[in-house]
Structure 1
Amino acid sequence: MIWAKEEMMPRAEIEAIQLERLKKQVEIAYNKVKPYRVKMEEAKLRPEDIKSLKDVSKLPFVTKEDFRANYPFGLFAVDRSDIRRLHASSGTTGKPTVVGYTENDMKSWTETVSRIAVMGGASSKDTAQICFGYGMFTGALGLHYGLENMGIDIIPSSVGNTKKQIMFMQDFGTTILVATPSYALHIAEVIKQEGFVPAKDFKLRIGLLGGEALSDKMRYELNELWEGSVLFTQNYGMSELNGPGISGECEEIAGMHINEDHFLAEIIDPNTLEVLPEGSEGELVITCLTKETIPLLRYRTRDITSLNYEKCRCGRTTVRMEPLKGRSDDMLLIRGVNVFPSQIEEVLLSIDEIGSNYEIEVNRDKHMDNMLVRVELTDYDLLDSFSLLEQLEKRIKFGIREIVGIDATIKILAPRSLKRFEGKAKRVLDLRDKN
């Protein structure tokens, strides 16, 4: 099912809409948002200089730091009297990034979320249980309004009390689960522990997962636990850009379709900041084309991906972003080596004997950096064999050394020993500044 005609437009029509809206956004940003005007004047750029989509590369970038430097409302292009909603990021350090929504912004947000829900197989006959935290975080209310717009029944169960979540799922006949991949796995594990047969005792048929990347192994484990009876798709969003609704996987699981009439995507080299050729892997940059409150231009998401412009098997013509490969700013510098946690995750997820939950701790001893990787076994029986554990430890250590070039200490734990998260999983602990 396709929700909107804009999802199937020819490329020329999509780009014509994008250019028209880009010009309008640049003009609004220049005339109504002082920090934007300052950036553009420093770049010796005026709105009339934007004549084609390629000219977007002339515009200066905006980053999370710009939000914090202009906290709370310095990037707003409308009067406070026009604002209908305020949200803020869930960041744990520094000032949060604050975003606002006019009535039109709310309509656009709802529309884009409805599209990604339909991409993932949702229909008006469904009942959706939203296991995101309601509050300043955009995820819960974003999905809530988008799904409600489709005529779907909503169970706003928020986070916490997993056994009660499971009770609601069973008693209310939940057919759609909205959660992070980590929490969806945790719910499934608890369901099994409670003696239920997931595919038999529940009506769940769709998982709309977001808030963190859904790895292939996580998807595999979820499919195993639900015996293939549930379609798990991931969607992508960011508070600064609008919240959820930027992109989402369709039922073909072939990349996340970007709502291109609302968002213009680029891929840049995070080091040179140059726009990369089509198909290249690099940092995703997004320009908001319809947002009234904050006409956000060239926002550096720091997420590493690539874009696929081929028509999808589902019939949609919108560009697809590939699953995220990491971030350009979560790099760890360990003993002079650049290490991305996603590189370590790649090694861990290739080993069948360990689960998808892991933890990376970086510490410093006598001025030397050390990396400790904690992992969980998938089978308790493995604990009985010292030789197998020793071999497994060597495999993990060798795999990490091969990928990132440094040694790590490996700690293998019993199944379900590591902390489970109801929100975004916190997998990296950098304790060096605390020593």
Structure 2
Amino acid sequence: MIYNVKMETLDASQKERIQLERLQNTANSVYANVPFYKEKFDSLGVNPNEIQSLDDLRKLPFTVKQDLRDHYPFGLFAVDQSEVVRLHASSGTSGKPTVVGYTRNDINVWSEIVARSIAAAGGEPSKVLHNAYGYGLFTGGLGLHYGSERLGMATVPISGGNTSRQILLIEDFQPQVICGTPSYILNIAEIMEKMGKNPTDTSLQYGIFGAEPWSEEMRQTLESKLGIKAVDIYGLSEVMGPGVAIECHEAQDGLHIADDHFFVEVIDPETGEPVSDGEYGELVFTSLTKEAFPIIRYRTGDIAAINRTKCQCGRTSVRMSRVKGRIDDMLIIRGVNVFPSEIENYLLQVTEIMPHYQIQLMKKGTLDHVELHVEVNGDHFKKCQENLEHAEIYSLKEKIQHLIKSNCLVSIKVQVLGPNSIQRSEGKAVRVIDLRKESVMQ
């Protein structure tokens, strides 16, 4: 089902005309109403009236997350406070939170974009959507909620946590679609199995998963355990929230960007210069229709590539690859760059372990030390006679180390733990734990 056939199947020339008009309006809005952008434009000698083509976007300045923190809380808003009807914010774990605002029209546009997304994922009017994304300042819960209602689905706003109740409502309300972080939905499936239930026996047909990087192997695990089609959704609060892009359930081959509302670039993160289509680089987004919090050339830190070919589902939107990782999540292990998602790709091919892992970073002397903690599954644990020093465990460690070394070109010490040793998450999974400061202090 294509929710908005007119906009989602536009040909390139029509879409570019719409994008240029909206870009011009956005540039004029921020120049007139956001002192930060006026100063940036003036320092580069750029006037919004000079934007006569989409290529002229490159004349405009980049925006980074620190700019949002520096103008906390409302310094980058382009409308009067009286027009703002919603505020969202990041967790602020590394300093001041980043705050974004929405006018009533922004909420309407966002709802329509997410309705498109849910339809692309397999959702339909009159069906039921189980929303296990967190509600509150995080944009995930309310973003999917409003989009689901706009599509005409009965929406279960259960949020994250209270897993036994989640299972009860899945069984009783019989939803077609489930939404949440992949790690938490996997946790729901595992708890069902512990309760003696078969997760594939539910009414679920489609899963919309995001808010954390996840691999193709994790997709296969989720689809197998739950008997569903699992699609990736992408969004970030600085640009809008969930719905910036999503895979279609027909192809599951790249995420369709709502490119009538968001203009995407991919740049070399070192030079800031554009890279060719199909080449991986840092995603940069410019909002085209936001009123309260328009953003110009926002550097997301996410690594992906884009594809402009038409999809088999009929949509003509630009597609982005699944996010390979984040620039700030990239690990440098003895000079080799590797993303946690790349390690996950190969870990989930090892049948003796559970799809839960953690990468721990420590200091040993002056050198960084990396350990990979994995969790043996229950059947294999019994085979090892509940002795983690057993030869079977040693063999498993060697197997994983060889797999990572052969494919990721890094040597990592592996610790094999017993079942349920790695803490499960009710939101975003914590895959990397940085203990280097603690290691130095000890």
Task: Provide TM-score, normalisation by structure 1.
Answer: 0.95
After TM superposition, give the deviation of residue 260 of structure 1 in Å: 0.7
Using a 3 Å threshold, how does the CA distance of structure 1 residues 27 and 133 change in structure 2: closer, same or farther? same
Deviations 1:75-111 (A, max 9, x none): 0000000001011013422011100000110111001
1:381 maps to 380
Distance 2:416 2:326 in 1: 26
Contact 1:174 1:203 in 2 (8 A): yes
After TM superposition, give the deviation of residue 347 of structure 1 in Å: 3.2
- 167-176 or 312-321: which moved more? 167-176
Distance 2:399 2:271 in 1: 36
Deviations 1:137-195 (A, max 9, x none): 11101110110111211111111110111111112222221111011101011111111
Structure 1 residue 130 corresponds to structure 2 residue 131: yes
Name the amino acid aligned to 1:66.
D
2:182 maps to 181
Contact 2:370 2:413 in 1 (8 A): yes
Name the amino acid aligned to 2:203.
K
**1:329 counterpart SS class:** helix
After TM superposition, give the deviation of residue 409 of structure 1 in Å: 1.4
After TM superposition, give the deviation of residue 405 of structure 1 in Å: 4.7
Q: How does 1:326-341 map to 2 (within 5 A)?
A: 326-335=325-334, 337-341=336-340
1:285 maps to 284
Which of 425, 433, 439 is the matching residue for 1:421?
425
2:230 maps to 232
Structure 2 stretches lacking a partner, 5+ long: 385-389
Q: How does 1:370-409 map to 2 (within 5 A)?
A: 370-381=369-380, 384-385=383-384, 386-403=390-407, 405-409=409-413
After TM superposition, give the deviation of residue 208 of structure 1 in Å: 1.5
Deviations 1:235-278 (A, max 9, x none): 10101111111011111211110001000011100111101112
2:387 maps to none
- 301-310 or 368-377: which moved more? 368-377
Distance 1:433 1:41 in 2: 42
Distance 1:401 1:236 in 2: 30
After TM superposition, give the deviation of residue 345 of structure 1 in Å: 2.5
Name the amino acid aligned to 1:225.
K
- 277-286 or 108-117: which moved more? 277-286
Distance 2:419 2:147 in 1: 37
Distance 1:91 1:345 in 2: 27
Contact 2:177 2:204 in 1 (8 A): yes
**1:280 counterpart SS class:** coil
Task: Provide TM-score, normalisation by structure 2.
Answer: 0.94
Structure 1 residue 42 corresponds to structure 2 residue 43: yes
After TM superposition, give the deviation of residue 334 of structure 1 in Å: 4.5
Which of 233, 243, 246 is the matching residue for 2:244?
246
Q: How does 1:23-422 map to 2 (within 5 A)?
A: 23-200=24-201, 202-226=202-226, 228=227, 230-251=228-249, 252-335=251-334, 337-381=336-380, 384-385=383-384, 386-403=390-407, 405-422=409-426
Distance 1:148 1:39 in 2: 39
How many residues align structurally? 432
Q: Percent identity?
A: 45
Distance 1:351 1:45 in 2: 54
Distance 1:357 1:153 in 2: 32
**1:212 counterpart SS class:** coil
Distance 1:247 1:97 in 2: 21
Contact 1:358 1:374 in 2 (8 A): yes
